[in-house]
Structure 1
C-alpha cells in the first residue's frame, strides 16, 4: 500500500512478497516464488545439495523457508556477505520475466518499498503498517533489506522497460506515419559516437521492404522530431550499397557500416541485445535479396557463420547457388519473415508457391539440373542466337516425345480405368459394412460413457473425502487447546507461586493456537470462528485478572511501608516486595506483547504507587538530616568566618576564631525529645561542623545509590525493558539469579546488559523519572540544608557530586542523571558562596584613623585559597575553582585600589605595594596555570608601586646634593660643556663645597635613621616588605652617590672636591640601621 513516500507490503498476496506465487527460470531451474530461489541458493552456498533438492521439490513457501533454516554448515557471517546478491538476482529474474509484475513494480516509482513486518528486523522494519512510527524512518526497528533490494531492482529494470517500450512505439509510429508504402522490418536506436549519456534515443536505423517492388530493401537513418510520432528521414541507403557491417568488438556498443564507395560511418547502440537482434534481422534480410553481398564481422559465433554464408553466396547469377544451403535459407526465411513478402508454403519438393510473386527458391534437383544444363552449353551461352535456336529445337523435340508417349499409352490408360472402377465397387461394399457396425455401436456408446463417468466420479469423491479428512485433522491439531489450560486461564490462582509457570505455559499455548497457520478459507468456518473468538476473550479475561492481581500487590506494597521508622540516614529496603513481583516478570512480558494498553496502564499504576513510597522516605530522611544539622545551625558559618582572626582589622572587626562552618557541638535537639539520644550520638561521632556535613552528605548518597540501582534493575526485569525480545529470557533469568534466598536484590552488571535500543532506554528513563519524581527535590533540599549550615561546604558538595557523576557516566543508569542534577545544584550553591564573598569584599571599609597595611579581605581570600586547594585537588571541577579565583582577584584588585585612594594615613603606594605583594604570593602558592597572567600582573603592580614609593621618599637624606646635581645635569643637557659648568655662579666650586660641608658622615647617618623610621611607620608587619624596601633604598642611594662622584670628576676635575662620606660608609650605615631595627 503506497502512502506518501513509502509503499508498504507484508502479506503473501502482495506481488512484492517473497511468498507471492510466480514462475521464473534461472540456470535451467524453474522456481515458483522468490522465497524458493532464495532458500535454494542459500543451501547451494553452503554445499547442502540434499536440502537444495528438497527445497526445489517443495510446493509451499512456508515449507521452503523451514527447509532453508535447516541448511547444514550454515555460517551467519558468510550469509550476511552473500544474502543481498542472492535476493537481488532472484527478484531481477522474478520481475524481469513477468511483465505484469514488472509493471506493478514500476508503478511504485518515486516511493521507497517497505516490508511492514512487525516481527522481522532484518528484511523488514520491525513495525506494522498501522504503527505511526512506520512512517518515520528514524524510528524503524529493522533494516528493511527486502524493501531496499526491491527499490534497487526497480531502478535496474527501469531502463530495460523504457527502451523496450521506446522501440515498440517507434516501430508503430513509423509504420503509420512515415513508411506508409513500405514494410518496417527492424528498428535500432542509436546515437552519435561522440554523444555523451542519453536516456531517450532520438536516432534510429530503420530497415524497410517495398510492398510494390520485389526485393527492394532499404536502410534509413531517421531522427525523431519535437512533436509526438514525428520522424524525419535523414539518410537512405539501398541494401546493395552496403558492403560491410562491423560489430567492432564483443564488449563494445559501436556499429560501423562500410559502403560501396569506401566510406565508413560509425554509430553507438544503446544495448548489446538490440545490436545483436538488429544484426540477425539484417543478415536474414540479406539472404532474400539477389545481388546483395554484405559481410558481417565481430559478431557472436552464431551470427558469424550465417553472415559468412550471406557474404559468399549472395550472388546467384555469377556462380550459382550452393545446393546445401538452399533448404536452410528457406526455413530461416519463413521463420524470420512474417509478412506477405515471405509468406510462402513449402510443397515438399523444394518449391514454393508465392501468391504475391516475389521469386521462387530452387530445389536441390532443380539446382543440379540447371548446373548440368549450363555445363553442357558453355560455348552456346556466349552466342545468344545460336543458344536460343538450340533451345527451341530441343523444346520441339521434347514436345514431339511427349505427344508420342501419350498416344502409345492409350491401352494402358484404359486398363488403369478398369482397375479404378473395380476398386470403387470394393470400397462401396466396405463402406456399407462399416455403416452397419457403426449403427450397432451407437447403442453401446452411451452405456460405456456412463460407466466411465461413474468410475471417475467415484475416484474423485474418494480423493476429496481423503483430502477433507486430512485438512480437518490438521485444522483440529492447529486449533486444539487443552481443557486443563483453559481452566487455568479462566480461573487463575496467582497467589500460589507454583501455579505461575503453568499459567505462563498456558498463556503461550493460547498464543500459539491463535497464531496457527490456518488457511483463510478455513478461518471462515463457524466452528473455527467461535473457537478463535473464545480464545481471544479468554486471553482478555486472563490479562484483566493478572492486572487486577498485580494492582492489588502494588497497593499493598505502598501500604506495607513502615509507619514509624528509626531516625537514621538509611532508606528502607523493598527487596521482599520486589521478590514477590519478580515471579510475574515473564507474565508481564506476555502482557506487553498481547495487550500493550493494559501493560502501560499497569506500569503507570506501579510508578504512581512507588512514587508515593519514595516521596515519604525522602521526607523522613530529610527530617533526620535537618535534626542532625540543627545544633550546627546555631553557629552556622558565613563567608565572614574566613577572615583572618589575627589581623589588625577584619570585616566584622571582632577577630572571630570560628571555623567556616561554625562550631559543631553534640547538643541534643530540644524540639525533638523522642530522638535526642540518637541524634546526639550521631553528632558526637561526626566531629566538627564541616566533618559533620561531609559525613551526613556522604551517608545519604551512599544510602541512595543502592536503592536507585536496585529499583532500576527491578524495572528492567519486571517490565521487560530489555534491548530486544530475544534477550528477554536471558536477562530475566539473570535478574532472577540476582535475588538471594533472603530476598536481597543484588546488583546486575550493566556493562553486559547495556541497552542497544534507544526506544527501550527512553522508556526506562521515563519510568524511573516518574518513580523518583521527588528525588531531585530531595537532593536540592539536602544541598540547601548543608549550605545554610556552612556556605563553604558547597565546595565539598560540588566535588563529591561531580566525582559520583563521573563514576556513573557511560553506564546509562538513572543514578547518573540524579548525580548530574545534584552536581548542578551544588554548582549553584558554590557560585552563591563566591558571589556572597565577593559582595562582602566590596562592602569593606578601612579604618582611616590607623595605618592600613594588608586589608582584611586579602587575608580572608588567603584563608579561602588555603582551604579550597586541597578540596579541589585532582578533581575535574578544578576549572570552577580557577574561575572563582579570577572573580575574587578582580574584586580584590579593585578593592585595594579604592582603599589606597581613600586612606589618608598610609601612602597609596604602600597600600598597593603590600596588598599586591600578598596577593601575588597567594596566587603563586596555588600553582594554577590559568592564574599565571594575573600573577604576573600583580607582580608588575607590586614592583611598580615599590619603585614609586622609593623614588618619592629617597631624595630626603641628601636633598641639597640631589637638587644641585640635578641642575648640573640640566645644564649639560642644554649644551653647556663640563668645563663651563664650574663658572656658573649657581653651580660654582664654592657653592658645591658649601653644600658638601652640609652633609658630613654623621648627618647622613642621622638622615638615614629618620628615613628608616618613616618607612617603618608606613609599612605594616603583615606586608613583610620592610627589608625589601630598605634594600632597594640602599641600592638607589649608592647609585646616587656614584652619580654625584661622576659629575664632580667630569665638571670639577681639578677642584680637589669630594664628598665627606664614602660608599663603604653608606653600606655600613644601612647595615647598622637595619640590624638595630630588626626584631
Structure 2
C-alpha cells in the first residue's frame, strides 16, 4: 500500500498541489469486484480544501487516473455498519449514499479515522459517524501499510527523487560491503535502519553544532564588517549548507531503499507452511485439501505480483521466481497424478457391481423390477472438493488441466454407457413383458410373421397391438364381432378398447416411458452442473488440446472466432456431455422404435411425454445437452406419429366390403371414435395439442371420403343407409367429445345424416297408395292445364265414380299389410349398433301422413260436397305404425 500511496501522490495529487493523507482499497458493494481507491486529500494552498477522491486504474492497467471527487463538507454521515465486529463494509452519505467494501477491516478503520481527524480540524459542520467505535475515533491511527497520513504527514510530504549515478554507485558499494545484502534482505534492511538512525542522530548533532556555529558566525560577521572577512564567512556557510543537504539526501534514499526491500519481502515471500503444503500436503483429507488450496492461491499471488522497474534484474528476485516456478510445476504434477487416481478409484467403485466375478445377486435380472439409474451425487460431492485446485490448474498448467478433463470424460463415458445400456434393457423387458422374449423382441430382426407369433405368445389369444398389417388389405366388413387385426389401427380400435389387457398395456407403456425420461433428465442435468462447476466452465472457455480433438468429431459446436465467450463455454460443456452421453439418443430411438412396434398408438403417449420434457429442458437451459438431445428425439417421435396417422388413412382406403352382408357402422368410423377418446385423454393440457388437431382434420376427412366410397360400392345395403348410419355415429361422437377444431365437421356430419335419412325415407316409402297417387297426379295435371278445381269432377277420367274405385282398392287392412312389409325391409337394411330403426320408422310415419293429408286436401278442393273419404283415418295410420313397431 505504501508504494501505491507514493505513486498516487506523485502522479495524481502533486501536480494538483494536493497532499494524500488517507487511502483505502475498495469495491462497490453487491457488484462484480472492480477495485478502486478512495483517497482523503488536502490542498497545499490556503484556504485548505478537504476532498474524498476516487482513483482507479486505467483500462490498460499501466497508470492511475482520477475518476470522481467529493468535497468533505458535503459528507453528512459515515456508517461503519458494525462497531463491535470486524466488517469491511461502510457507507459514505453525500448527495446519495455510496456503499463500499474495503479490502480489509484495518484499512477501513484507518480511513474512517483519517476522515474523523480531518473533520475535526478543518470543518465547522461536523460529520456524523454511525456504528464507529469511540475508541477508534479517540486513538491515533495504527501503524503499518494501511496507516493513513497523521498530523506529522500533513506538514510535509517528500517527493520521490530518482537516484543519480553517484548515489547508485554508493548504494552498490554499500551492498558489496555487506555480504548478505542479497541473500538475507531482512538482515540488510535492519542494518540500513540502524545506520539510518545513526545518520539521523548525526544530522541532529550537526544541526545543533550548526546553531553554535551560526552564533559564532554572527559574531564573526560583525567583526568581518570591520575586518573585511566576509568571503571566508560565505565559504563556511556554503560548506554547512552542502553538508546538511547531503545528510538529508542520504536519509531520504535510505527510506526509499527500505520501502523497496519491504515491498519485495511482503509480496514475494511464501511462508514455509505454504511451501510444505505444496510439497507434502495431504490431498485426501479435507484439511489437507484446504491447506493446498490456500498455498496454491498464495503461490499464484506471488507469481503474479507486478514488479517495479528494475526488480527483475535483482538476483534475489530471480532466485525467488525460479523457486516459485519449481513449486508450481511440482505441485501441478502431484495434483494431476492424485486426481487421475481419484477418477480411476471413483470409476471402479461406481462400476464395482458390474465387474466380472462379483456377486450375481446384483445383476440386471435381479434389478429388473427397479427401473432406476444409479445416482452419482456422492462421486460429484467428493470431486467438488478439488474444484478450486482445478481452477488453479486451469490458470497455471492448461495442458495438465485439459488432460484431466479428457481422462474424466473417458472414464465417465464408459461408466454411463454401461449403466444406460442396462437401464434401457430393463425398460425394454418391462415393455414387452418377459425378460427372455423381451430381449429377443428388442434386439433381433425378424419377419412380420415371426413377430406376430411372438406377440401372441407374449400376450395370449386376446392379441397385442403388434404384428402384420397385411390382413387389413383383405378385411371384410362383416360385423362388429369379427373386426380384429394384428396391428393397432382405426379399423380395430373399437374392439381393442374393450380389452382390459390393451388398456393395461398402454398404461404400463406410458408409465415406463415417463419413468425413463424422468430418470434421464436429472442424471443429465446433475452431470452438466457438475462439469460446469468442477472444471470452472461458467465463464472462460477451454479450446485446445483434448477439446480440439473433440471438436473434430462435431466441428459445428466450436466456432471460437464468431461466438461470444458465454457461448464458447456452453459449447465446451455440450461437447463433453455429447461425449459422455453419446449413447442416450441411440438408446432412446431404439426404445421409441420398440414402442412403435408394440403398438403404433404408443406414438401418441410418446409425443406428449417427450414434448413436455423438451419444454421443461428448454425452460431450464435452451442450449443444454438435454434440451438438444430430447429435441432431436422428439423429431423422431413426431415422424412416428405422422406415420401412424398416414397408416390409418391408407388402411381406410384399402378397406373392401362384403357383398353378402349389410354394412352397418364401418370399423374405421368406430375406430376414429376410440382414437379420439384415447387422444383426448392423452393430450389433455398437452403442449403439442396443435399436432393432434392437424391429425384430427386429416383423419376425419379420410373417414368422410371413405364412408362415401364404401356407400357407393355397397350392393347389399342401400347407399343412403350406409351414409345415414355412419354420419349419425360420427355426429354423435363429435357432439359428445366436443373437439373444437372439428366443429365444422360435426355440423357437416349432422347435415349429411339428415339429408340421407330423408332420402332413404322417401325412396323406401315411395308411393304406398300407388294408384291413388297416380290418380291425383292426373288431377293436378288438369288443374295445371287450366281446368278449374271444382270442374275436375266433370272430366271423364277423373269423375267421382273413378275416384271411388281407386279409393276402394286401398282398404285399411291392405295398407297395414303393406306398411308391415316395409318395416321388415327397413329392418334388414339397418344395423343394430346404431339403433336408428325407430327414428327411420317415425320419419316414414310422418311422410305417409303428409301424403295422406295431401290427398284429403285435393278431394276437398276438387270434389266438394261429394262426401268421398279414404277408407282409413290419420288415427288409423298412427295405430298401424305403432302396432307394427311393437310387434317387431
Q: TM-score range by the shorter chain?
A: 0.5 to 0.7
1:778 is aligned to 587
Separation in 1, partners of 2:590, 2:663: 43
Separation in 1, partners of 2:753, 2:876: 30
The answer to whether the 8 A contact 2:270-2:302 is kept is yes
Separation in 1, partners of 2:17, 2:789: 122
Separation in 1, partners of 2:651, 2:720: 24
2:192 is aligned to none
2:416 is aligned to 614
Residues 19 and 837 of structure 1, relative CA distance in 2, 3 Å threshold: farther
User: Pick from 608, 619, 636: which aligns with 1:810?
Assistant: 619
SS at match of 1:469: helix
Residues 1042 and 19 of structure 1, relative CA distance in 2, 3 Å threshold: farther
Q: CA deviation at 1:617?
A: 1.6
1:257 is aligned to none
The reply to whether residue 882 of structure 1 matches residue 693 of structure 2 is: yes
Q: CA deviation at 1:586?
A: 2.1
The reply to whether residue 41 of structure 1 matches residue 77 of structure 2 is: no
Separation in 1, partners of 2:265, 2:649: 86
* TM alignment of 1:328-727, pairs within 5 A: 440-442=229-231, 445-446=234-235, 448-490=237-279, 493-516=282-305, 518-536=307-325, 538-560=327-349, 561=351, 562-563=354-355, 566-567=363-364, 568=368, 569-595=371-397, 598-628=400-430, 629=432, 631=437, 634-635=454-455, 636-638=464-466, 647=480, 650=483, 652=485, 688-721=504-537
Separation in 2, partners of 1:31, 1:859: 90
* TM alignment of 1:885-896, pairs within 5 A: 885-896=696-707
Residues 815 and 983 of structure 1, relative CA distance in 2, 3 Å threshold: same
Q: CA deviation at 1:823?
A: 4.7
Q: CA deviation at 1:603?
A: 3.0
User: Pick from 919, 922, 945: which aligns with 2:730?
Assistant: 919
Separation in 2, partners of 1:543, 1:662: 70
Q: CA deviation at 1:1002?
A: 1.5
The reply to whether residue 768 of structure 1 matches residue 577 of structure 2 is: yes
The answer to whether the 8 A contact 2:281-2:291 is kept is no
Separation in 2, partners of 1:45, 1:967: 118
Question: What are the ranges of 5 or more consecutive residues in structure 1 without an aligned counterpart?
Answer: 1-10, 52-68, 82-432, 666-685, 726-755
2:821 is aligned to 1010
Q: CA deviation at 1:807?
A: 5.5
C-alpha offsets along residues 785-831 of structure 1, whole Å, 9 cap, x if unaligned? 22222222223333334445555563448656655555554433333
Residues 657 and 793 of structure 1, relative CA distance in 2, 3 Å threshold: closer
The answer to whether the 8 A contact 2:724-2:752 is kept is yes
The reply to whether residue 789 of structure 1 matches residue 598 of structure 2 is: yes
Separation in 2, partners of 1:596, 1:653: 61
C-alpha offsets along residues 998-1052 of structure 1, whole Å, 9 cap, x if unaligned? 2121221122112112212222223321111111010011111111111111122
Q: CA deviation at 1:778?
A: 2.0
- Give the greater-gyration-radius structure (CA): 1
The answer to whether the 8 A contact 1:723-1:760 is kept is yes
Separation in 2, partners of 1:70, 1:29: 27
1:336 is aligned to none
The reply to whether residue 1029 of structure 1 matches residue 840 of structure 2 is: yes
Residues 42 and 539 of structure 1, relative CA distance in 2, 3 Å threshold: farther
Q: CA deviation at 1:1055?
A: 3.0
The answer to whether the 8 A contact 1:478-1:517 is kept is no
The worse-fitting range, judged by mean Cα deviation, of 924-933 and 702-711 is 702-711
The reply to whether residue 945 of structure 1 matches residue 756 of structure 2 is: yes
The answer to whether the 8 A contact 2:52-2:71 is kept is no
Q: CA deviation at 1:589?
A: 3.0
Q: CA deviation at 1:523?
A: 4.4
| TM-score between the two structures when normalised by the length of structure 1 | 0.53
The answer to whether the 8 A contact 2:74-2:94 is kept is no
SS at match of 1:501: helix
Separation in 2, partners of 1:522, 1:1070: 122
The answer to whether the 8 A contact 1:1000-1:1061 is kept is yes
Residues 1020 and 763 of structure 1, relative CA distance in 2, 3 Å threshold: same
SS at match of 2:277: helix
Q: Which has the higher helix share?
A: 2
SS at match of 1:774: helix
1:864 is aligned to 675
Residues 909 and 664 of structure 1, relative CA distance in 2, 3 Å threshold: closer
Residues 435 and 760 of structure 1, relative CA distance in 2, 3 Å threshold: same
C-alpha offsets along residues 482-512 of structure 1, whole Å, 9 cap, x if unaligned? 2342343245553455421111111111122
Residues 924 and 32 of structure 1, relative CA distance in 2, 3 Å threshold: closer
Separation in 1, partners of 2:506, 2:79: 80
Question: What are the ranges of 5 or more consecutive residues in structure 2 without an aligned counterpart?
Answer: 19-42, 56-64, 81-87, 101-222, 357-361, 442-453, 456-463, 542-564
SS at match of 1:41: strand
* TM alignment of 1:726-765, pairs within 5 A: 764-765=573-574
C-alpha offsets along residues 869-898 of structure 1, whole Å, 9 cap, x if unaligned? 433344444444333332221111111111
C-alpha offsets along residues 269-290 of structure 1, whole Å, 9 cap, x if unaligned? xxxxxxxxxxxxxxxxxxxxxx
Residues 762 and 47 of structure 1, relative CA distance in 2, 3 Å threshold: farther
The answer to whether the 8 A contact 1:24-1:32 is kept is no
SS at match of 1:982: helix
1:196 is aligned to none
